[in-house]
Structure 1
Amino acid sequence: MQPPNFSQLKSLPQTRENSSSIVPFLLAIGGATATGKSSLALALAQRLLAQNQGGVILSADSRQVYREFDIGTAKPSARDRQQVPHYLIDICAPTETLTLAQYQHQAQGLIQQFHQVGTSPLLVGGTGLYIEAVVKGLRIPPVAPQPELRRQLEALGQPYCYGLLKGLDAIAAQRIHANDLVRTVRALEVFYVTGQPMSALQGEVPPAYPVFYLALDSDTAALERRIVQRTQAMVAAGLVEEVTALAQKYGSDLPLLQTLGYAEILQYLQGDCSLPAAVDNIVLHTCQFAKRQRTWFRNRAAVQWFDADAGDLVDRVWQQINNWSQVNLK
């Protein structure tokens, strides 16, 4: 895995104003897919640039970290990246796995570097746990996925695994639903790799710098329209060709090809459905995913919500940031 590239830091403005009088902070933008997080981030980053506070974007998307998966993950365009530097994109090969702990380590390192030169970065994406890991400073057990161990545990069945977890880590078992196989297996995985209960390795170490955390939302009908438009744009941009090339290069069993947008097109390529049916399935599954994202972000008490469909969205957010900065950046 390639380390993050810090070379662009040398070109960031380092004036007296941004190095002494302005307190660097983190601007986090979350929300469901297709709510316009990236376009808002670009507009805000450009305003930060105009105020000599830098203006760079750190991606908080669990699939944009992988190279070659471009159209289906809605990566920023080359033009967007020229306007504002983007980080934590294309840092892994598709055959690698980036853990949450690894993402957090790279994101925290970048934020520290940017703050040292007076730059306030934006952390932007729909992977809520990525954002949470940074803004809350989650303590994450540094245990990479263990595929063989997971298969063995899953073969035992959830009732047995959950009973096992209650005996090994009662605190973790209380936090995990009795039917949640994924989290149960993860807790057992951490125990067997480290020899310590996962509950003993978790916790929070909040960052010392100020954080403005906002999320975008859209009513259900409007969000579905956005998802339809984006899906159609992806297909027009070459999503079918992208999936074809990836399947030929890595094989159709590549885990990333089983994810949203790619799995449906792969079914079309394998002759299991028509292209219109695949597109309809992408829209359906994306709407279902967006609903889960909205629920997740709404359970975050510290988030300030904004209407993604407001005509003056950028001005509203910018005003709220300015109001917040008067209190928190002194």
Structure 2
Amino acid sequence: MNKRKPVVALVGPTSVGKTATAIELALTFGGEVVSADSRYLYRGMDIGTDKPTLEERRGVPHHLIDILDPRDDYSLALFQRDAQRAIEEIHARGRLPIVAGGTPLYLRALLEGWHIPPAPPNPELRAQLELRARREGPEALHRELQTVDPVAAARIPPENVRRVIRALEIFLTTGRRMTELEGREAPPWRVLWLGLTMPRDELYRRIDERVDRQVARGLVEEVRRLLEQGVPPDAPAMTALGYRQIVAFLTGQMGLEEAIQRIKYDTHRYARHQLTWLRRMKQVEWYDVTQPGWYEQLRERVERFLREESDEGVVAVHQSGGGKEAPRA
């Protein structure tokens, strides 16, 4: 008998439709959504993240959305703590946690039970590394990381300067590689990993359409307002896709059309990175959202999963009338 409580994880690249699908599953199975999207954490950053509105959430409780000021710092360890707490609280209410997002590092740390390296932040060292990144470019720091911790460098892209700095900080502070200090302990839940995908050309088209829609909705004005409110242009939150390129436009480093094209190009590259890492996770069961009947198949898979034994016996499958049609991807 498997006595661990259930968690559904919904993963996939940006723009594939995870948010709408998670909401539909939550309505069908009596669930609540735990966001594993690092961009959704920050208040006032709505358009550039394509964050679902309260109306779009359709009454489904969401966790780890709008919990930080854009000037705040946040860490993988804090996310792991906060997400674990949210899952425990959802289980205590007798509901189903649905972890949805496209940040592979967050998903794996939470649902694979990673041990986060016990190296406290070193503000002075971080400032030195951040200065080097600005002067020499992110690739210089990434090359250094490849030298001291090639495993970490392989899973952290050069443009994720914050994570590169953290990996270097751990090595320079402890003398040991981040990947040596990390361990794993099976989480106290049974997890069903579901992945959404689509042909790459279609994904790129959706990304481009979303970027155009964000600009039309007021992305430039949103970024300008954040800067006027005192959010530093180099704050971690402002390094998110869409924000850093518009900051470059507002500070005169490039024209608006160039910034828009850069957002699209960089988002294509990020989607490829997401898929590369998610495809390495053999436990993920993939569904092509362009194929007829994909959502019905996914829903039936969740039903089978929830019929398995849990701490409370057989988990009830809540049929609320939702899920009869595929949600907007």
| Range with greater deviation from structure 2 (185-194 or 201-210) | 185-194
- 1:232 equivalent in alignment to 2:232: no
Q: TM-score, normalised by structure 2?
A: 0.79
1:195 to partner: Cα distance: 7.5
- Please state how far the C-alpha of 1:83 moved relative to its aligned partner: 1.9
> Which structure is higher in RCO with an 8 Å CA cutoff and minimum separation 6?
2
Report the Cα distance in structure 2 between the residues aligned to 1:209 and 1:259, rounded to whole angstroms. 31
- How big is the shift at 1:175? 3.4
Distance 1:159 1:23 in 2: 39
The aligned counterpart of 2:275 is 294
| Deviations, residues 46-98 of structure 1 (Å, cap 9, x unaligned) | 1012xxxxx11011011211111111111111213352111101111111111
Which residue of 2 is the match for residue 218 of structure 1? Answer: 198
Give the deviation of 1:270 after TM superposition. Answer: 3.1
Equivalent-residue separation in structure 1 for 2:95 and 2:113 (angstroms): 20
Report if the CA contact (8 A) 2:152-2:178 is conserved. Answer: no
Match status 1:98 vs 2:74: yes
1:12 matched to which residue of 2? none
**Matching of residue 28 in structure 1 with residue 9 in structure 2:** yes
| Alignment-derived partner of residue 264 in structure 2 | 283
* Contact 2:40/2:49 (<8 A) preserved: yes
Cα deviations by residue, 1:104-137 (Å, 9 ceiling, x for unpaired) = 0011011111112211111011101111111101
Partner secondary structure for residue 306 of structure 1:
strand
The alpha carbon displacement at 1:198 in A equals 4.2
Q: Tell me, yes or no, if the aligned pair for 2:171 and 2:178 is still in contact at 8 Å.
A: yes
What residue in structure 2 maps to residue 137 of structure 1?
113
Equivalences, count: 296
The answer for the alignment partner of 1:89 in structure 2 is 65
Structure 1 stretch displaced more, 89-98 or 150-159: 150-159
**1:23–1:118 CA contact under 8 A, matched in 2:** no
Structure 1 residue 80 and structure 2 residue 60: aligned? no
Alignment of 1:182-261 (within 5 A): 186-190=166-170, 193=173, 198-199=178-179, 201-249=181-229, 250-261=231-242
* Aligned Cα root-mean-square deviation (Å): 3.0
Query: Taking every aligned residue pair, what percent have the same amino acid on both sides?
Result: 37
Gaps of 5+ in 1: 1-21, 50-54, 166-172
Larger Rg: 1
Q: Is the 8 A contact 1:67 1:90 kept in 2?
A: yes
Higher helix share: 1
State the one-letter code of the partner of 1:189.
E
Assess if the C-alpha contact under 8 Å between 1:210 and 1:328 holds in 2: no
Counterpart of 2:56 in 1: which secondary structure? helix
Moved more, 208-217 or 30-39: 208-217
Deviation at 1:265, TM superposition (A): 1.9
Name the SS of the counterpart of 2:99 in structure 1.
Answer: strand
The separation in 2 between residues aligned to 1:282 and 1:158, in whole angstroms, is 23
Partner SS for 1:118: coil
- Structure 1 residue 190: Cα displacement: 2.5
In structure 2, what residue type is equivalent to 1:102?
Answer: L
Q: C-alpha offsets along residues 267-312 of structure 1, whole Å, 9 cap, x if unaligned?
A: 3323444433322221111111111111111011111111122343
- TM-score normalised by the chain length of structure 1: 0.79
Give the match for residue 318 of structure 2. Answer: none
Aligned mates of 2:272, 2:215 — CA distance in 1: 23
Q: Where do 5+ consecutive residues of structure 2 fail to align? A: 315-329
For the residue of structure 1 that corresponds to 2:67, the secondary structure is: coil
Q: Secondary structure at the match of 1:80?
A: coil
Task: Give the equivalent residue in structure 1 for 2:40.
Answer: 64
Partner of 2:246: 265
